[in-house]
Chains A and B, each alone.
Chain A
Amino acid sequence: DQQVKQNSPSLSVQEGRISILNCDYTNSMFDYFLWYKKYPAEGPTFLISISSIKDKNEDGRFTVFLNKSAKHLSLHIVPSQPGDSAVYFCAASAYDFNKFYFGSGTKLNVKP
């Protein structure tokens, strides 16, 4: 049951430009969303989160937008840096659930 989907397996962006990573979900009970970054041979690293009472959360160069009616969230990275090159996973859960559902990931390549 693929309740969280990342339809773009890869994205290539020039350094200094904006990176936009997208994520869709199907379960309307989800009310907490996160983005993780993963480098090879490491576990996912928490990046930023948003709860369903908000439609935007910002942390430095990273901003997550949530569109509940479209069941869509996106991660914006501005400006993109080569060190941002990694696989990005979105994840979702509901407060009365005990687990997070992950998308399949988007591999971001930021070119110098």
Chain B
Amino acid sequence: ETGVTQSPTHLIKTRGQQVTLRCSSQSGHNTVSWYQQALGQGPQFIFQYYREEENGRGNFPPRFSGLQFPNYSSELNVNALELDDSALYLCASSSRTSGNQDTQYFGPGTRLTVL
């Protein structure tokens, strides 16, 4: 069984640029959630994708967008990067059946630095 993987591991961008982060979900999982973890804080929910559709969103502006593909892998896109976007971005996969929530399993994260 393959765990959750994320790429790249680290990324450095400048203000105003755009970035795409990638996540491969654990085998058998159909739901992917993205979180932002700033230094010294807990993960903050960005959004969740279930069967290729957005299925819930946190308090993040529209410049944070995502995609989920038929193989359940996912992308997080951030446009017009700001300094405050510097954080660890975590992807978590889970299996959502019959409307029930399931435990989320996290990838190692992508460390984004915006200069």
Contact = CB atoms under 8 A, between A and B. Distances in A.
Interface of A: 1, 4, 6, 32, 34, 36, 41-46, 49, 89, 91, 93-105
B109 A43 contact: yes
Interface residues of B, number: 28
Contact of A104 (B42, B59, B99): B42
Interface in B69-111: 90, 92, 99-101, 103-109
A94 B41 CA distance: 21
Interface of B: 4, 6, 33, 35, 40-45, 48, 50, 55-56, 58-59, 90, 92, 99-101, 103-109
Given A41-B108, A89-B43, A49 B99 contact: no
B41 A97 contact: no
Contacts of A36: 106
The majority secondary structure among interface residues of chain A is loop
Contacts, number: 64
A98 B106 contact: no
A59 to B, nearest CB: 13
A98 B48 contact: yes
A43 B106 contact: yes
